[in-house]
Amino acid sequence: MKSSLLLFSFLLCVCGVQVASGFKICAFNLHHFGDSKVKKSNVVHTLARIITRCDVSLLQEVRDAKGKAVPKLLDRLNKYDPDHDYAFVASERLGRTSSYQEQYVFVYRTDTVSVTGQYQYPDDRQGDVDAFSREPFVVRFKAPKTDIKEFVLIPQHTTPTNTTKELDALYDVLQHVRKMWDTENVMLLGDFNADCGYLAKKNRKNVRLITGRNLFWLIPEKTDTTVKFSTSCTYDRIVVHGEKFARAIVPSSAGPFNFQEAYRLSEEQALEVSDHYPVEVRLKGIADKVSLSIGTLLSLFVLSQLVFKVLT
């Protein structure tokens, strides 16, 4: 009888196992995404497979001058993954010259997350009009099924020749957003160009986003986020501010998604999609436990006794 009760207790434990959250935040440099790329069916199909893995995706290097490429991509996402509804919010076109401008685009699942605020950071706030080539487009999200509940994302695609200065200036953006929205739950993410020749080791001591306290760089150093076999650089990063947010991250979940390997693409095929891998991280979710009725409990007890008899 004692063994039977032990087995019954084990069954209860199994039924009370917490369900792990699949909530995922991703950042992906799409490498010149616009009218020409969205016309390539095979490329858009691969993009749909990648982006629909995430609850929130930051897309960079979006060069959608006519405003048609992103809606077409969104239509493909919703067709590819009909179990979720996808929407997007985008910055204005950003850049120092009219000949080359990009947008930050956040694509998100409306059934798991909602936008509660957005803010285009002005480049002259610190009196330095050259701080950023593409000023951060900051968005606040509400995600009720996660432990953190609400968070702010600060995107940045740095200019390779100005990486050190832009990464340091991101620290000012972080402090401004914390005060403006009275929040500590902030994540900074994107193609920081934070490695190899663009961020020299001797310059890291001059970047407050690196030296500042309470900042957690989640993508391990020497992690390759580039597609080309000839390169190995940790350009793309995810940085979390605050211990509370850091505790809300699923341990060891941050890293690049090697879509070339996952989808068995050649290097040439992968480079048609992008020359970067997306980086991603998972958030912990609310503990969901299975509620058991009295009838279910009795059934489990009877089952445990039958299993015990068979075993003995």
Residues with catalytic annotation?
102, 157
CB contact set of 51 (below 8 Å; sequence gap of 6+): 26, 28, 57, 59, 73, 77, 107
* Burial of residue 207 (number of CB atoms within 10 Å: 0-12, 13-18, 19+): buried
Gap between the Cα atoms of 135 and 192, Å rounded: 13
* Residue 261 in tokens: 């390997």
Q: Collapsing DSSP states into helix, strand and coil, what is residue 8?
A: helix
Contact, 204 vs 231, CB < 8 A?
no
Q: Tell me the residue length of the chain.
A: 312
Which residue type sits at 28? F
Gap between the Cα atoms of 43 and 57, Å rounded: 17
